[in-house]
Amino acid sequence: MVAGFEGVELSMLSADRLDAFRVFLAIRRHMRARRPMSVIRLGDGEGAVMGYPEITSRKDVNRSLRIWLRRIDVADPDVLRLGAELREAIRNADILGVPRARQIRSGMPLWRAVTEALESMRLVGPGTVLTHTALHRLLQHGLLYRPLLEGTDFVGVISCRRMASRLREVFGVGEVRWYGVKGELEDTGDIETPHFPDGFEELRETLRVPYPGALFLVGAGVFGKIYCHWIKQRGGIAVDMGSMFDSWAGEGRVGHPARSLDEYRKSPRITREQAIERYNALARQFELDVPAGDPHAAYCQDLPPAW
C-alpha cells in the first residue's frame, strides 16, 4: 500500500511553509487587487482520495467517506472522478496547506500518502506556495479572521453551518451568501440533499461569484477543496476553513475555547505584536511544529498596527 517515503519525506520536510501572518498578507493582496485565489488544506482524508488507487486502497477511501457522507456506497467511477477533480484543485491552488513534519513522521499512512501523492503525481506547481494543514486554526490563533473579514461588503460561505448572522454581528460583514451542504455530523442542520453527488453537482451549477476578488469561506471536507477551485475559476478568492465553522457555531468539533468566535469579543482590538505573541503561545500549547511568528521580520511591517 503506502511505502517508499524516504525521498518524499526529506523534500517535504525541507520545504518552506508560510506562517499564518504571511498567508493573511497574501490573501489581503489578492483581495485588494481583486485577483482570483484558492487556499486549500490537505489532511489524511484528502490523502486517501488523492492517492487512490495507485497509493491508497478503497478501504482507505471508505474510511473517509464514512466521515464525510456517513456512507460508503459511492461507486468506484465516482470516487475516481472525485480524485481527479481533487488533484486538479491541488494543481491550481495558490497556497496549499500540507502536513506538518510531525504528522509526516507519525507513521500514519494517510498523512504520508498526502506527501507521496504530491510528489509522485507532481501536484505542486512552480507558482504554488506551501503552508500548514492547520492553517484554519493558525489564522484563528492570531485573530486574523477579523482583519480579513471586518467591514467586507460580501462574503460567500459554503458550509453546513448557517453563519450569516454571526459573521455580520462579529465582523460587520455586509452581505453573506450561504450555500448550504449536508454536514458530516448528525447535528449539522436541516439539509436533506445528499452532499455527494447530488449537492455537489447542484453547487457546480448554482455557485456564483458576484464580482472579481469576492471572498468565499469554505468548510466542506474533501469537496470543499474542489469548491475552492471552482470559486477561483469563476473569479473569486476561496479560503478553506474546514472544521473552523463547527467551532464558530459552538457545535461539533469545537476543541479548545481558543477556536471560539467569542475570542474576538474578548479581544476587541489586538496589536500585531500581541497577535504574534498569542499565535506563538497557542502553537506551543497545542504542540504544533510550525514556524513561530516573528515580530522583527520584514513582513511584520506590512501587517496592520492593530486589528
Give the per-residue pLDDT at 103.
86
Cα 224 from chain centroid? 8
Sequence spans of domains, the chain: 16-282
The answer to whether residues 24 and 148 touch, using CB atoms and an 8 Å cutoff, is: yes
Q: What is the pLDDT of residues 59-89, one digit of tens each?
A: 999 999 999 999 999 999 999 999 999 999 9
Q: What is the pLDDT of residues 157-210, one digit of tens each?
A: 999 999 999 999 999 999 999 999 998 866 556 788 999 999 999 999 999 999
Give the per-residue pLDDT at 169.
96
pLDDT at 13 > cutoff 80: no
- The pLDDT > 90 percentage for the chain reads 80
